[in-house]
Structure 1
Amino acid sequence: MLSLLRRRPGAQEPAAVSPVENPHDSQGDSATLREAVRSISGRASSMGREAAEVRGVIDDTTQSAQRSAEAVLALARRVQEITESQQAIGQVTQESLGAVERARGAVEGVGQEVVAIVSTLRQVADAAGGITQIALQTRLVAFNASVEAKRAGEAGRGFGVVADAVKDLAGKVEASSKQIMSTVAELNARIESLAAEIRAEPGQAAQGAFHRALGEVQAGVARINTAADGSRAICGDLGERMAGIEREIAGTGAALDVAMKRSESFLRVSEQLIETVSQCGIETEDTPYIQAAQHAAAQISQLLENALRTGVATAADLFDEAYQPISGSNPAQHTTRFVGLADRLFPQVQEHALTISPKVVYCIAVDRNGYVATHNQKYCQPQRAGDVVWNTANSRWRRIFNDRTGLASARNERPFLLQTYRRDMGGGNFIIMKEAAAPIVVNGRHWGGLRLAFQF
């Protein structure tokens, strides 16, 4: 009956026992077999629960690794942007250093011009000094001429007038020359001060204020450039480290994928063992829920066939898979052409199934894609805007559950399917449960499945 109960190869055959000699052995063997089957069922159920827990933890870890990989990738992009910015800063600082050098050269050129101006002003001052000496001499000659004119009397009067005029003119020339010399001296002092500001003396520590300012700018730009170089080096090292982290995360993701596949195999073995035990004809703790799921699936099938027969709905309506998104829903909800029919027909079957046992969590009819037109009444609450955690737990209708368990139940065409899985209740809350599923067939066409979930 069960491979686990079969005789091991090479084991010695037990001695045949006559039914007449042992009238109670048949009943005893049957009771032992039933007890063994129930024990296997219980162990398989426990194994399935552990497998579902492990699979759930692996799934959580995989999602966490994916989020970490996305975060590292985003950080790597930011580091790359910073590196590019630092490179731009380095380029600008190099250009700034070049500009400072050009300014320094220009100032030195101005300094040379100033030196030339100072030399010219000195020449002007010397010329003014010469004019002043000539004026003094002219005044002296004019004075002597005036004295001689007075001695000559009436004959020298005209000459005396000329001499006086020459003396006055010489005085004015002297005064103008002195004023020129004063102005040149003042201008020379100012130009000397300017020359001191912009003078650059090679090999001397003391430089002009302008060159000191240029030197400070140059030093500041150099420090910025050095800092940018250091930052680029740090970013480069950080980029290499993040690349290593990305590789490690990718390796972890690959390992988790392998672990997930193996956990899937482990879980399938557990489910197949539970199904095999359930098919052996001996009632187990899962039998009532399997029978309830099959009975509810038959009722849904009958209701849908009646709707087609009476013209309440068409086959095109019933098998409509053009799901229309409901705007603003989160998690996403959809509508189809058979939602109204489902709202009218399904609750009478689904709500009654909840009364089978306190362990029953939900009973829903889904189409082949895992779409839930209408859920149990307690899970058909209108969504709350911005409250995705509450919506996930309480607004489970009009949604598509196309995860591993959902699609397996929706597309199962065997008499029944028994699965163990972890259900997301929202807000990081999960519960481990079993699910018995039976196919819903409408006029010979597979429509979906009846999902009945119950706790351990």
Structure 2
Amino acid sequence: MSFFARSSGKAARTASAEPSAAGPAASPASPSPATAPEQADRSSDRAMIDVVEADVMTAIDGVGGSIIATRDEVGRMREGVGRIRTQMERLAAAAEGAAGMTGGMLDTSRLLSSTSERIAGAMDQAGHHLATAADRSVEARALLAELERAGDEIASVVETIAAVSRQTNLLALNATIEAARAGEAGRGFAVVAGEVKALAVETGRAAADVRNRIARLREGAQASGAAIAAMTEAVDAMRPAFATVRGVTGDQAATVGALADEAQQAAAFVSGVSRDTSAATAAATDVDGLAQRAESASAAASVQTEALGRRFVAVIRQTEMGDRRRFDRYPIERVVTLAGTSGRTIDLSRGGVLIEAIPGLRAEPGARLVLEIERIGALTVRVVGISTMGLHCAFEGLAPAAEAALAATLAEVEADYAPMIATAQGMARRMAAVMEAEIAAGRLTPEILFDTAYRPIPGTDPQQFLTQAVPVLERLLSPLIEPPLQADPRMLFCIPTDRNGFLPVHNARVSQPQRPDDPVWNNAHCRNRRIFDDRTGITASRSTRPFTVQSYRREVGSAWVLVREIDAPIRVLGRHWGACRTAYRF
């Protein structure tokens, strides 16, 4: 017989054994007798489930390890990208500084080029003026030579005049003497002779003055000629230097022009480097952002992988083939003493106990321990597993007194839970009945009812979802889930959940419209249309046992209280739709 065939057959047997509405709420104290073939099938099924569980958990562990390795590699990549970005930022700063310097150098080169051009122009003008001065000095020397010759000629004429003046003065003297000899008759002639003599003297003085002036003019002309000659020699001596300076200035102008071109090219290159560096920095920032998101995604995937492992174990343990428990477990909190330390029980059944994790206690799976449970006594147990929940133990060789005390305790607990189990199972049947009636009336289809395309409602925080069935389920189930809360003040909620932990409907007091930007208030007052797929939620949603009992601590109002939850599966037209979850204060 195949695995799935055995599964289907067993599911049918379990379903037929499920209590009816009029039957007992709690499971029987001991398992119903089974034939040898049935026991063989169950053993084979459990062995196969164990193999599947081990393989899946190994795969999950492998994926988790790969995700952690990927996250570590992404973290190292982020560190490397961070260092690259830091270096690129430094390079960008250096490129920016270099751009400023090359820009300044370009401006200076342009100014120097302009100055060199003006110097070259000034040197050209100076050379032109120098050549003009040389030409003018030659002309001046010629004019001075002409002036000196004219002076010599004037001096010759003046000497002639002076000689005539001396002769005239001598003649006037002789005439005066002769006039005196003539007496009265020569008086008039004497007067004329005196005037002539005076004129000759005056002419002599004027000639002497002109002679002196000509001498000074000749001296000045000679000095000017000497100065002009010296200037001409200096100008002639400066001409090679000016030619050299003009050549150097031209070369300098050409060099400065080339330097300006190179500075412009350098500025353009540095500007390009700066742009490329900025782009590289931006790219490094983008890569860092991508790496950060990848790291966050890896971390989220790691968390999801761990959650998947827990969820897989929780889900497979709720299947009829994967459930290793022969007895129902009930949340019972009792003091337990073990290996000199004390702790508390979490749940208890006729087959074993779950003990909260005790710090410092070392126990490996397979180890046998002796523990003492409050009001039950000493018990021998075998450790069958260790999880985040605590120490999972199975009873072995119970003494009659301990077995009787255990049975009495469980009977008391079963009696306490019986009404709550009946309520959960009754509500599950009522919910299934209204769904089936709606399908029969043609107002709902199985495809819509079992729709798992959860569409996020925009703007909700925490996230809420819609499916095609939500409007119908709100109309059908909302009136059903309020009366149980009014009937029992201990009840915290009575809600339907599909197989994936989605709550299409919740009790009215926590189904209020969300407030914008207030996720804390929303989380407490807007719990409808949300997915609760934690261990408790998925255990309730996926369990196909007649009922499931769980316990946990939950914040109610301003205090944390111990909650006991009783869940019953909802089957619609023979298909497992989900569960009815009910919870009570202890």
TM, length-normalised to structure 2: 0.41
Of structures 1 and 2, the one with the larger relative CO (CA 8 A, separation 6+) is 1
The residue number in structure 1 matching 2:186 is none
2:349 aligned residue (277, 281, 285): 277
Q: CA deviation at 1:451?
A: 0.8
Distance in 1, matches of 2:93 and 2:475, equals 69
1:440 aligns with 2:549: no
- Aligned residue type for 1:446: H
Q: How does 1:51-450 map to 2 (within 5 A)?
A: 80-90=84-94, 130-131=134-135, 133-147=137-151, 273-274=329-330, 277=349, 282-284=411-413, 285-421=416-552, 433-450=563-580
Q: Deviations over 1:152-182 (max 9, x none)?
A: 99xxxxxxxxxxxxx9xx99xx9xx99xx9x
Q: Deviations over 1:268-303 (max 9, x none)?
A: 999974375399661315444333222221222222
The residue number in structure 1 matching 2:390 is none
CA contact (8 A) 1:380 1:397 kept: yes
Distance in 2, matches of 1:273 and 1:304, equals 30
Distance in 2, matches of 1:379 and 1:402, equals 18
- Percent identity for Structure 1 against Structure 2: 27
Distance in 2, matches of 1:76 and 1:430, equals 46
Q: Secondary structure at the match of 1:355?
A: helix
Higher strand share goes to which structure? 2
Q: Deviations over 1:67-121 (max 9, x none)?
A: x999999887666433322233345656877888999999999999999999988
CA contact (8 A) 2:511 2:526 kept: yes
- CA distance 1:118–1:336, change in 2 (3 Å): closer
Distance in 1, matches of 2:79 and 2:549, equals 44
CA contact (8 A) 1:363 1:451 kept: yes
- CA distance 1:336–1:75, change in 2 (3 Å): same
- CA distance 1:313–1:256, change in 2 (3 Å): closer
Q: Secondary structure at the match of 2:462?
A: coil
Q: CA deviation at 1:448?
A: 0.8
The residue number in structure 2 matching 1:163 is none
- CA distance 1:254–1:345, change in 2 (3 Å): closer
- CA distance 1:376–1:103, change in 2 (3 Å): closer
Q: CA deviation at 1:345?
A: 2.8
Distance in 2, matches of 1:291 and 1:88, equals 74
CA contact (8 A) 2:448 2:469 kept: yes
CA contact (8 A) 1:372 1:401 kept: yes
Q: Deviations over 1:403-423 (max 9, x none)?
A: 332222111100112223455
Distance in 1, matches of 2:457 and 2:559, equals 26
CA contact (8 A) 1:278 1:287 kept: no
Distance in 2, matches of 1:140 and 1:326, equals 115
Distance in 2, matches of 1:84 and 1:103, equals 28
Unaligned stretches of 5+ residues in structure 1: 1-33, 35-64, 154-166, 199-213, 215-220, 222-227, 233-238
TM, length-normalised to structure 1: 0.50
How many pairs were matched up?
A: 314
Distance in 2, matches of 1:76 and 1:346, equals 56
Q: CA deviation at 1:128?
A: 6.0
CA contact (8 A) 1:278 1:286 kept: no
Distance in 1, matches of 2:463 and 2:483, equals 28
Distance in 2, matches of 1:318 and 1:294, equals 20
Distance in 1, matches of 2:412 and 2:101, equals 90
- CA distance 1:71–1:385, change in 2 (3 Å): farther
CA contact (8 A) 1:392 1:425 kept: no
Distance in 2, matches of 1:353 and 1:92, equals 74
